[in-house]
Amino acid sequence: MARTKTIYLPPGRLRAWADRFAAEHGDPLCEVNSPKPGSGVVLSCPDGFAVRLRLPWEQLTPALAVDAWPEQLAAAAASIGTCGLILLRRGGYSVGTSVQGQLTWSKSGTRYVQSRTAAGGWSQQRYARRRSNQADALVLTAAEYAAGHLPAAKPSCLATGGDKDMLRQLLADARLAGLAALPAAHLELNADPRQRQLAEVARELAGIKAVITWPTPGHNSETAG
């Protein structure tokens, strides 16, 4: 079964990184626009390593030419305008906008949402209602800040991270209707949203998304990064 690792490459490093990947793993077969435009480029090496390279947003990844794809991907990344950012988990929220990897506005905050309880009966129902009310208040707070700034910033794309159910609830807010129609990318979060996570997401999304795969656990993934 293939293993995977995702990294984000600064556009200016793309050509050098691809050359090093080929040197380490063997002259690759290069496939572009497979299975469709927006899919990016796949480099498949003789030792079983492969990497798919595209923008973080499939919808913004252009059709590529086999002899010019690094320059075309780098140019496409540089042409992306304002990005809307919404990170939301039970422990807090972080919303903002970025341009070329730099935050241009942001707001982060924390709010307590009770953990699930093992209690049964009436107590469990009471805890569940309290938890739901706390989660709703967190979503509402994040939605207020997002609605107060993101639509006016006219983002060309959207990045979300964290709890998908809470994010769906937030994006269902009528004031944010335009955001749901934007090209979107979702990232997993390993920690509650904070300003530093938002800044890191902004930097990553300014780069090229590289999804590396290899077939056996005997390979060391660090040699691919």
pLDDT in tens, the chain (225 residues): 779 999 999 999 999 999 999 999 999 999 999 999 899 999 999 999 999 999 999 999 999 999 999 999 999 999 999 999 999 998 899 999 999 999 999 999 986 554 554 454 445 555 445 545 566 888 999 999 999 999 999 999 999 999 999 999 999 999 999 998 999 999 988 888 999 999 999 999 999 999 999 987 654 544 455
Query: pLDDT at position 217, please?
Result: 67
Burial class (CB in 10 A: 0-12, 13-18, 19+), 54: buried
Query: How many Cα atoms within 13 Å fall on the side-chain side of residue 173?
Result: 20
Query: pLDDT at position 90, please?
Result: 84
In contact, 209 and 186? CB cutoff 8 Å: no
Query: pLDDT at position 122, please?
Result: 46
Tell me the pTM: 0.83
Backbone angles phi, psi at 6, to 5 degrees: -115, 130
Q: Please state which CATH class domain 82-205 belongs to.
A: alpha beta
Query: pLDDT at position 124, please?
Result: 55
Query: pLDDT at position 62, please?
Result: 95
* DSSP summary character for residue 116: P
Beta bridge partners of 97: 84, 105
- Given phi > 0 = left and psi -120 to 50 = alpha, else beta, which region is 40? left
Query: pLDDT at position 152, please?
Result: 96
- How far is 118 from 127, CA to CA, in rounded Å? 10
Q: What angle do CA 171, 200, 140 make, to 5 degrees?
A: 25
Amino acid occupying residue 7: I
Place of tokens 């998908």: 164
Backbone angles phi, psi at 170, to 5 degrees: -65, -45
Query: pLDDT at position 105, please?
Result: 97
Cα dist from 121 to 116, 125, 126, whole Å: 14, 7, 9
- What is the rounded radius of gyration, in angstroms, for the C-alpha atoms of the chain? 20
Nearest one of 15, 85, 16, 22 to 49, comparing CA atoms: 22
List CB contacts of 143: < 8 A, sequence separation 6 or more: 170, 173, 175, 176
Query: pLDDT at position 222, please?
Result: 46
- For CATH 3.30.420.60, the residue range(s) in the chain are 82-205
Take residue 115 and report the two structure tokens written for it: 């953990």
Place of tokens 């070329």: 100
